Structure 1
Amino acid sequence: MAPSSYLWHKLITTLQIAPDYSVPPAGLAWRSNSFFIIATVAVGLFSDLFLYGLVVPILPFMLDDRIGIPESEVQPYVSGLLTAYAAASVLFSPVAGVLADRVSTRQAPFLLGLLSLLAATVILFLARSMPVLLIARVLQGIAAAVVWTIGLALCLETVGSDKLGRTIGSIFSFISVGNLAAPVLGGVLYEKAGYPGVFGIGFAVLAVDFIMRLLVIEKKVAARYATKDPTSGDLDQHLRHERSHANGSAEANEETEETPLLSKKEQDYYRIAPNQPAIARRIKLLPCLKHPGLVTAFLISGIQAFLLGAFDATIPTVAEQYYSFSSLKSGLLFLPLSVSDFLLGPLFGWAVDRFGTKPVATAAYLYLVPVLILLRLPRPCPSSPSSLSLLASIYPADTPSTASLKTLAACGSQTREIAIWSSLLFLAGIGLAGTSAPSIVEAGTIVKSFHERNPDFFGQDGPYAQLYGVSSMVFSAGLTVGPLVAGGLKERIGYGNMNAVIAVVSAVTGIAAFVWIGGRARLRDVRNMRRLSWWRGEDAR
C-alpha cells in the first residue's frame, strides 16, 4: 500500500468514518477507557448546560436590546423561550432513544446532537427577531435530547448499574460547574464585552466537546477490534460480567429465609410474556412501565426539572424588579444555587449507592419544603422605577413614594435582603443536589432487571437508550412546565406565594418517593405491580 493510501486509511479508521475491525485505530486503549468515555459524556452534558445557562441571565436584556420588548413585558417572553427549549427536547427525546437503539454505535447520533447545538449557538448569536430566537432555542432543545439520551445510556453500558450512582454523582458535580460558571460568565461578559464575548466562550467549549466526541470509542466497539468480529462485543458480554459479579457478591452476603422467596417473586414478575402487542415489540420500554418504581423515578426527574426551570425563569426578573440588578449581578445570584451541587453531588451519588434511592430522594424533596416556604422572606427594596411600580401594586392605596418609605422601614436595607435571598438559594441548592442521582439510578436498575430476565425480548443492547430518551423527555417536560407555571404564578400571586405553591409540589414528590422507589420493600412492590399490571398479555404469577 502506498504511503498516502496507508495514511488515508489510518485516518478514516482512527476517526471511525469507515471502520475496518482488522485495523485497530490509533489510541484504542485510552479512547475506549472507562474514564475517557465517562469524561466525554460529562463534557457533552457540561456543554449543554453551560450554553443553556450562559444566556439565562442575559435573556431579559437581549429581548430589550435586540428585540425591543419593554421591560415590563419581558417575563412572559423569557418563560416562553425557556419553554421552547424544553418542549423541543420533550418531543425529540423519544425519537433520539429509538434511533440510538437502532444504530450500531452511539457516536454518530452523539455527533449529530453536537451539530444541532453548534447551529443553535450561531443562530442565537445572530438573532434579531423573536422567531429566530425561538428557532435557536428549539435546536438547543433537540441537542439536549440527544446528549442526555445517548450520554446516560453510555454511562450505564460503561460502568454498570452497581457503580452508576457514584458515576452520576461525579458527573453532576462536574457539570454543575457549567451551571455555576455559565450564568456568572454570561453576565460578566455581556457587561464587559457584549454578545461576542458571551458567545465566543460558548464556541470554545463546543470545540473541546467536538474533539472528545470524535475520539471516543465505546466498549462494545473496542471489543470488535479485539475479536475482529463486527457483531461481537456488545452489551450482553458486559451484562454477563455484571451478573457474575453480582452473584459472587450475593454468595458472600448472609442470606435470610425470606431472601430466596423474595428473589423468586421478583424474577417471576420481571419476566415479560411473549405475546406482546406490536407497539411493545417496537418500543420495548413500554412493558417496563408497569413497575411503579420506574414511573415514580420519571416523576422525580420531572419535578427536579420543574424546580430548576422555576428558578431559571424567576431569579433574573425578580432580581431586576426587586433590586434593580444588572445582568452581571443577576448571574451572580445563580452562584449560591449551583455551588451546593458542585460540592455535594458526589456525596449524594455515594449515598444512593450505599443507602439506596429511597432515603436520598425522600430526604431531598422533603428538605426543600421549608426552604421554599422561607423564600417568601425576601422583600423588594425601592431603588428604580420598576421596583417602585412593584411597590405601588403591593400598596395600591398609597403613592409610590409612600409605599417606598413603608417598605424601606420593613426591609431595612437592600444588602440584608439580598443576603437573605442568597442564603436561601444556597440552601435550596443543597436539596436540588440530592434530586439528580436517585431517579437515574432507580430507572436504570429496574430496566436492567427486566433486561436480564428477558434477553430474547430486549436483544443485546436492551432498551437503555429508549429509557434515557423517555427520562430526557420527562426532564424536558419539567423544564417546559416549570418556567410557565412559575412565571404565571409570580405575575398573579407574587414571588413569595409562588414558592409556597412549589413547596407543596416538592412535598408530594417526597411522599411519592418514600412510597414507591428504592429500599428493601420489594414484597410491597410485587403486590403493587400485580394491582398495576395493566399491560396486555402479562400474567403476574
Structure 2
Amino acid sequence: METENESKSSSWRASKTLLVVTATLGLFTENFLYGFVVPILPYMIEVRLKLDPSYTQRLTTELLFIMGLISMPAAPIIGHLADKTTSRKIPLIISLIGCTIGTLLVATTPNLYAVYAGRILQGIAGTGAWIVGFAMLTDAAGSKHLGKALGSAGSFITAGVLTGPVVSGALLQWTNYWTAWAAPLALLGLCFIARFAMLEETTTKEIKPSTVDDGAVDETAPLIAADSSNGGQTIHGNEESKQAPSRGFYSVMFSIGSTYAALLNVTAFSMIISGFDTTLPVHLRDEFGWRPAPIGSIFLGIQVPSMIMAPMVGWLRDRIGLRWPTALGWLCSAPLFWFLGVPSQDNFLGVGAGTKGQAAFVATIIALGIIWSFVRGAGTFQLTTTMHELKEKDPNVFGPGGASSRVFSLTETSFALGLVLGPLVTGALADTVGFYWATTALAVLSGLASISSWIFFTHKAPIKEAEGEEES
C-alpha cells in the first residue's frame, strides 16, 4: 500500500510535463535576469555606489556586454562536461545556486568589483542552465513534438529578455529598489522548488553482451556462434562496431552547411532582441516623447503575438519542415525593420512623429511580433534536427553520451555573440547616424538570414520517433 502511494506521488514528479515546465521556467528566468538590470543600473551606479553620473553609460555598457562575453568561452566547456554526465538535475541545481549568488552580489552592490563578479557568475550559471535546460527540454519533448516544444520555449526566452526591463523599470518607479529585486528572487525561488521536485528517469544505456551469466551454459545456443554470410565473424564484427571511435562533434557539425545557417539564425535573432533593448527606449523618448510605461508596453507588442502563435508555428514546422516558414519569416521581417526607422521628426515619407507616425510604429511592431513567430527558435530546431539526422545514419557518430548538450552549447555561444554584437552595432549606428540606419542594418541582417535559411534549412518534417520511444 505504501509502495503504491509512493509511486502515485512520484509519478507526477517524473512526468514529462514537469520536466518541460522546469526547463522552460529556468530558461525564462535566466533571460529575465539579463534584461532586468537595464533600467535599474543607473540607480545602482549613481545612488548605491555613489559614482559620478559621467561613468553611468560606460559602466552600463560594460555590465551588459560582460555577461554575453563570458558566455562564449563558457558554453563549449559546459556543453562538453554536461554530455559526460547522465544527470540533468544536478547541473541545473548547481547553475541555479551560482545564479542566485551572482544575483545577490549584483542586488546588494557592496562595491563595483562585486557587481562585476556577480554579472560574471550570472553569465556562467545562466549558460549552464541554458544548455542543460534545452537538452532536458528536447529529451522530454521527443523528436515528434520538438517543433512545438522549442517554439514555446523560444517565446518564453524572448519574453524573459523583453519583460525584464519592463518589470524592473515599473517596480523601481512605482515602489522601491528592494521591491523591484523581489521579482527575480521570487523567480529563482520557484526554480529551486521545480528543480528539487523533479525526478529523473534512470535510463542506463549499458551494452549487455549476453543475458546469460558468464558461468552458465545456454544449451539452446549453437556451439559456434557464426553467421555464414560473414564467414563466422559476427561477434567480432559487432564488438568492433560497438567500440568504433566516435568522430569529433565539431568537425562533423561544421562540415554541414545547415549548421552555419542555424547559427546565423540564432545570432541574428539575439542581435535584434538586444539591439531593441539598447535603442528603442531612447528613440521612443526622444522622437515621440514617451514615458517609461508606454515604452515598456511596446515590447509587449513584439512578444504577445509571438506567444499566441508559437504552438501553431511549431505544429507547422513538425509537418512541413523549417525552410519555408523560416525563410519567408525573415524575408517579411526585412521591410518591417526598415520601416521602423521611418516614423520620426524628420517627416521622412510624410509619416512624421505625430499621431500618424506613432500609430504606424505600433502597427509595425505588432506585425513584427506576428512574423517573428516563424523565425523564433528556428536555428535551435535546425541544429537539433541535423543532430538527429546524423545519429539516425550512425548512432555512434557522437559517442555513447550523445551530443544534445554540445548542440545547445553552440546555440548558447551564438546567442551570447548576438547579445554582444547587438548593443554594439545598433547602439553605435543609432548614436552616429541615427535610428533609421540602425533598423536598416537589421533589415539587411534579416535578408541574409532569409537567404541562408532557404538554401540550407530542412525542407521536410523532422525525424519521427518510433512508437516505443514515443510512449516511454
Query: Deviation at 1:181?
Result: 4.1
1:77, CA displacement in angstroms? 4.2
Aligned partner letter, 1:27: S
Is 1:336 matched with 2:301? yes
Structural mapping, 1:224-235, within 5 Å: 231-232=204-205
User: Is 1:337–1:428's contact at 8 Å kept on the other side of the alignment?
Assistant: yes
C-alpha distance in 1 between matches for 2:79 and 2:453: 25
Shift of 1:90: 1.4
What's the counterpart of residue 439 of structure 1? 379
Deviation at 1:124, TM superposition (A): 2.0
Contact 2:320–2:461 (8 Å) recurs in 1: no
Partner amino acid, structure 2, of 1:162 = K
Give the CA deviation at 1:311.
0.8
Tell me the TM-score normalised to structure 2 length: 0.81
Residue 71 of structure 2 is aligned to residue 106 of structure 1: no
C-alpha contact 1:361 1:435 (8 A) present in aligned 2: yes
**Is 1:165 the counterpart of 2:130 in the alignment?**
no
> Who is 1:498 aligned against?
438
Which structure is higher in helix share? 1
Q: C-alpha distance in 1, partners of 2:244/2:84? A: 21
Q: From the superposition, tell whether residues 487 and 72 of structure 1 become closer, same or farther in structure 2 (CA, over 3 Å).
A: farther
Counterpart in the other structure of 1:257 = none
Whether 1:53 aligns to 2:35 is: yes
Q: Partner residue of 1:427?
A: 367
Find the partner of 1:126 among 96, 99, 108: 108
User: What code does the residue aligned with 1:334 have?
Assistant: F
- Displacement of 1:472 in angstroms is 0.9
Corresponding residue for residue 16 of structure 1: none
Alpha-carbon separation, structure 1, partners of 2:163 and 2:415: 22
Tell me the equivalent position of 1:246. none
Question: How far 1:489 sits from its partner (Å)?
Answer: 1.2
Letter in 2 for 1:161: S
Amino acid at match of 2:415: F
- 1:474 alignment partner AA: S
Residue aligning to 2:177:
195
1:353 is aligned, of 313, 318, 334, to 318
Residue 58 (structure 1) shift: 3.4
**What is the one-letter code of the residue matched to 2:403?**
P
Task: Specify the code of the residue in structure 1 equivalent to 2:188.
Answer: L
Conserved 8 A contact 1:352-1:438: no
Give 1:385's aligned residue: none
Amino acid at match of 1:209: C
Count of residues in Structure 1 that have an aligned counterpart in Structure 2: 425
Task: Indicate conservation of the 8 Å contact 1:357/1:438, yes or no.
Answer: yes
Q: Give the equivalent residue in structure 1 for 2:425.
A: 485
Deviation track 1:119-153 (CA, whole Å, cap 9, x = no partner) reads 22212212265544333322222122111110111
Q: Which amino acid aligns with 2:253?
A: C
What corresponds to 1:249 in structure 2? none
Q: CA deviation at 1:40?
A: 0.7
Go from structure 1 to structure 2 and tell me whether the alpha carbon gap of 1:174 and 1:490 turns closer, same or farther (over 3 Å shift): closer
1:461 and 2:401 aligned: yes
Distance 1:368 1:76 in 2: 32
Please show how residues 181-260 of structure 1 align to structure 2 within 5 Å: 181-219=163-201, 221=202, 223=203, 231-232=204-205
Q: Deviations over 1:16-69 (max 9, x none)?
A: xxxxxxxx8883311111111111111111211222232233345544544567
Matches of 1:359 and 1:70, distance apart in 2: 52
Aligned residues of 2:246 and 2:397 also touching (Cα < 8 A): no
Match for 2:415 among 472, 475, 478? 475
| 2:333 aligned with 1:368 | yes
Which secondary structure state, in structure 1, belongs to the residue aligned with residue 145 of structure 2?
helix
Aligned pair in 2 of structure 1 residues 189, 414: CA closer, same or farther (>3 Å)? farther
Kept in 2, the 8 Å contact 1:313–1:483? The answer is: yes
Gapped regions of structure 1 (runs ≥ 5): 1-9, 11-23, 224-230, 235-270, 381-405, 523-541
Aligned mates of 2:137, 2:368 — CA distance in 1: 27
Q: 1:415 to 1:521 in 2, by over 3 A?
A: closer
Cα distance in 2, alignment partners of residues 486 and 73 from structure 1: 21
Whether the aligned pair in 2 keeps the contact of 1:187 and 1:330 (CA below 8 Å) is no
What is the CA-CA distance between 1:114 and the residue it aligns to? Answer: 0.9
Q: Give the corresponding residue for 2:266.
A: 301
Q: Which whole-Å CA distance do the structure 2 matches of 1:457 and 1:114 have between them?
A: 32
Kept in 2: contact 1:304–1:432 (CA 8 A): no
- Tell me the distance in 2 between the aligned counterparts of 1:163 and 1:172: 14
1:81 paired with 2:63, answer: yes
Structure 1 distance, partners of 2:357, 2:114, is 38
Q: Distance in 2 between matches of 1:137 and 1:328?
A: 27
- The question of whether the paired residues in 2 share the 8 Å contact of 1:43 and 1:175 is answered with no
From the superposition, tell whether residues 83 and 26 of structure 1 become closer, same or farther in structure 2 (CA, over 3 Å). Answer: farther
Could you report, residue by residue, the CA deviation over 1:387-413 in whole angstroms, capped at 9, with x for unpaired residues? xxxxxxxxxxxxxxxxxxx98xx8766
1:153 pairs with 2:118: no
Paired amino acid for 2:440: A
Q: Name the CA shift for 1:32/1:142 in 2 (closer, same or farther; >3 Å).
A: same
Contact 1:301 1:471 in 2 (8 A): yes
Decide whether aligned partners of structure 1 residues 72 and 334 sit closer, same or farther in structure 2, where only a CA change above 3 A counts. farther
- Distance, in Å, in 2 between the alignment partners of 1:337 and 1:68 is 36
Q: Distance in 2 between matches of 1:70 and 1:327?
A: 23
Corresponding residue for 2:284?
319
CA contact (8 A) 1:489 1:495 kept: yes
Change (3 A) 1:336 1:131: farther
Counterparts of 1:287 and 1:303, CA distance in 2: 23
- Tell me how far 1:76 sits from its aligned partner: 4.9
Letter in 1 for 2:13: R
For 1:275 and 1:103, the matched residues in 2 are separated by: 19
2:451 aligned with 1:451:
no
In 2 relative to 1, CA 450–71 (structure 1 residues): closer, same or farther, beyond 3 Å? same
Most deviating of 209-218 and 69-78: 69-78
Offset at 1:505? 1.2
Which residue identity is paired with 1:290? Answer: S
Q: Is the 8 A contact 1:361 1:434 kept in 2?
A: yes
**Which of 233, 253, 258 pairs up with 1:288?**
253
Match of 2:214 in 1: none
Residue from 100, 119, 126 that aligns with 1:144: 126
> Identity over the aligned pairs, expressed in percent?
26
Match of 1:377 in 2: 342
Contact 2:275–2:427 (Cα < 8 Å) also in 1: yes
Matched with 1:510 is 450
Residues of 1 paired with 2:354 and 2:55: CA distance?
24
Q: Which amino acid in the other structure matches residue 431 of structure 2?
A: E
Instruction: Please give the alpha-carbon distance, in whole angstroms, between the structure 2 residues aligned to 1:433 and 1:73.
Output: 38
Once residues 232 and 122 of structure 1 are traced to their aligned partners in structure 2, the CA distance between those partners, rounded to angstroms, is: 40
User: Quick one: distance in 2 between partners of 1:521 and 1:340?
Assistant: 25
- Which amino acid counterpart does residue 351 of structure 1 have in structure 2? L
Q: Distance in 2 between matches of 1:89 and 1:181?
A: 21
**Conserved? CA contact 1:86–1:480, under 8 Å:** yes
TM-score w.r.t. structure 1 length?
Answer: 0.71
- DSSP 3-state at the match of 2:176: helix
Deviation at 1:326, TM superposition (A): 4.4
Aligned-pair distance for 1:172? Answer: 3.0
Root-mean-square deviation (CA, aligned residues, Å) is: 3.2
Pair 488,127 (structure 1): closer, same or farther in 2 beyond 3 Å? same
Aligned to 1:384: none
1:427, distance to aligned residue in structure 2 (A) = 2.3
CA contact (8 A) 2:341 2:435 kept: yes
